[in-house]
Amino acid sequence: MIKDNEKTLNRIHVAADACLIIISYILSYFLRFYTPLRYLIHFDPNAGFYNLVTYLRILYLLLPGYLIIYYYSGLYGLGPIRLKRLVLWDVIKANFMGTLYFTFLLYATREGHYSRYLIFIFFVINVIFELIFRLIVRIIQNAARKKGYNRKHVLLVGYSRTAQSYIDRLLANPHWGYAISGILDDNVDPDTTYKGVKVIGSIEDLPDYLSSNELEEIGITLSIDEYSKLSRIVNLCEKSGVHTKFIPDYQDLLPTIPYTEDLDGLPVINIRNVPLTNFVNRLIKRAVDIFGATVALILFSIPMTAVAIIIKTTSRGPVIFKQVRIGRHNKEFKMYKFRSMEIQPDSKEKKSWTTFNDPRVTKIGKFIRKTSIDELPQLFNVLKGEMSLIGPRPERPFFVEKFKEEIPRYMIKHQVLPGMTGWAQVNGYRGDTSIRKRIDCDLYYIENWTLSLDFKILFLTFFRGFVNKNAY
């Protein structure tokens, strides 16, 4: 049932997109020539050369081209779990490619009298309309699925911690549209229940359930010690034609988006996908770091000078505090900060956290720690190549040795340069907060790095990252 509904929905998407493209195009024409935008005409020598009927003729070629581009950009057949930010990016990407196609058509037909501004307005209007349309469809879909309509019936094979995690997520997100029919397992008693989902039989009963033609999806959630059954189960599912998913029982070892290689037909899964191991990615990030650190030092030179003078005149000791931290490839480096505490023995400083109302913190220290001004000298660490503007925060050697034994995957953060701010910090995990949640954020950043994610974190830092309520 849900497959037929998805096909119908995709057809509606295509028809709606065709209508939206036509409406956007006509609206762009009127915005360009019948609103105050027409006063830009002296910047556009071809404005007003053609009437609307002539402008509409190119739609015969433009419309099918756009729909094909939308298809290959992944705008059709979107699953219920697809992230909103990916849909936004796909719509923008598709319309950018469409604009290039539009320009190519004008070049190929040797048509040089179309308004350049109309093409730009069409791009903006079309993106807005497409996003609004998809948002409305998503809202209607979610509301229908929450009420039990258009559900996808899934049977789980294997009762394990993976099955429990999978059930937790499906039950927490009813708008995804899944209805769990039950679990088949050989090791637990029938009628065993987890959050209302029953074990309804053994794995030997799978052929009977497949032959009923009432299932739309099989989720293989075997425990890792039962993987000897995997091949037979997959063969049974494929013969029945039912869509099959495999949820591995070693998700703690794999990234959320595994990176695979094809070695002459042999699939190889990389345990950790780190985009910044790529030389070009590191080069781009380094260039941004150098430029950003230089600009920041210029912008903050006056407040940094003022803070340095206040520190020097209000307490005994150096202005800059150097603390050993662990960086990329587990190498030690000296991280710079404005000194915010009284001078203390190295043995005590290396092994203790700052606590609430800590008497060691100076008066100016409380302010600069709360506002993160004490971190600004790390811009020099960035210029030296010891740190990046964005990345996991570096930790002291004593705590690295402690956490690597207590927290799984803790040391993965040292595969990239540490940063002045990061994904964990803009999500509130700074100072006296959960180390495990901080590491989860760091791993997400490491495995999903893009330059746009760096810019997003940098942008969010100005609104969430500077004032730190957990800094004492």
Does 259 or 330 have the greater pLDDT score? 330
pLDDT in tens, 45-68: 555 566 778 888 888 889 999 999
Lowest mean per-residue pLDDT among 93-107, 143-157, 445-459? 143-157
C-alpha to C-alpha distance for 7 and 150, rounded to whole angstroms: 12
E-strand spans in 185-292?
A: 193-194, 197-201, 217-220, 243-246, 259-263, 266-270
- Residue-range domains of the chain with CATH: 2-146 (no CATH), 152-251 (3.40.50.20), 279-465 (no CATH)
C-alpha to C-alpha distance for 104 and 449, rounded to whole angstroms: 33
Percent of the chain with pLDDT over 90: 31
Q: What pLDDT score does 35 carry?
A: 76
C-alpha to C-alpha distance for 101 and 93, rounded to whole angstroms: 12
Q: What pLDDT score does 143 carry?
A: 76
Residue 469 has pLDDT above 80, yes or no: no
Helices within 326-471 (DSSP H only): 346-349, 363-370, 378-384, 397-406, 423-426, 435-447, 451-460
**Alpha-carbon torsion 33, 38, 40, 42, what sign?**
positive
Those residues whose C-beta lies under 8 Å from the C-beta of residue 358, and which sit 6 or more positions away, are 341, 472
Residue 176 has pLDDT above 90, yes or no: no
- Band of the pLDDT at 1, cuts 50, 70, 90? very low
Those residues whose C-beta lies under 8 Å from the C-beta of residue 182, and which sit 6 or more positions away, are 155, 156, 197, 198, 199, 200, 201
Residue 281 has pLDDT above 80, yes or no: yes
Residue 189 has pLDDT above 60, yes or no: yes
Q: What pLDDT score does 421 carry?
A: 92
Does 140 or 1 have the greater pLDDT score? 140
Mean of the pLDDT values across residues 333-345?
A: 84
Average pLDDT for the chain = 83
Q: Which residue has the tokens 């990329």?
A: 328
The 8-class DSSP code of residue 461 comes to I
Top-ranked range on mean pLDDT: pick from 147-156, 225-234, 288-297, 307-316: 288-297
Residue 347 has pLDDT above 80, yes or no: no
Does 457 or 40 have the greater pLDDT score? 457
Could you give the C-alpha distances from 121 to 61, 92, 116, in angstroms and in order? 19, 14, 9
Q: Are 166 and 190 contacting, i.e. CB atoms less than 8 angstroms apart? A: no
C-alpha to C-alpha distance for 212 and 355, rounded to whole angstroms: 63
Residue 268 has pLDDT above 90, yes or no: no
- Band of the pLDDT at 272, cuts 50, 70, 90? confident
Short-list 386, 408, 278, 399, CA closest to 329: 386
Mean of the pLDDT values across residues 191-218?
A: 87
The 8-class DSSP code of residue 169 comes to H
- Band of the pLDDT at 127, cuts 50, 70, 90? very high
- Strands 419-421 vs 388-390: parallel, antiparallel or unpaired: parallel
Q: Are 450 and 275 contacting, i.e. CB atoms less than 8 angstroms apart? A: yes
Q: What pLDDT score does 171 carry?
A: 86
Q: What pLDDT score does 417 carry?
A: 95
pLDDT in tens, 71-104: 888 787 655 555 555 577 788 889 999 999 988 8
Q: What pLDDT score does 340 carry?
A: 83
C-alpha to C-alpha distance for 360 and 354, rounded to whole angstroms: 8
The 8-class DSSP code of residue 465 comes to I
Lowest mean per-residue pLDDT among 71-80, 223-232, 385-394? 71-80
Q: What pLDDT score does 372 carry?
A: 83
Could you give the C-alpha distances from 269 to 258, 285, 410, 416, in angstroms and in order? 7, 26, 21, 21
Q: What pLDDT score does 2 carry?
A: 45
C-alpha to C-alpha distance for 452 and 20, rounded to whole angstroms: 29
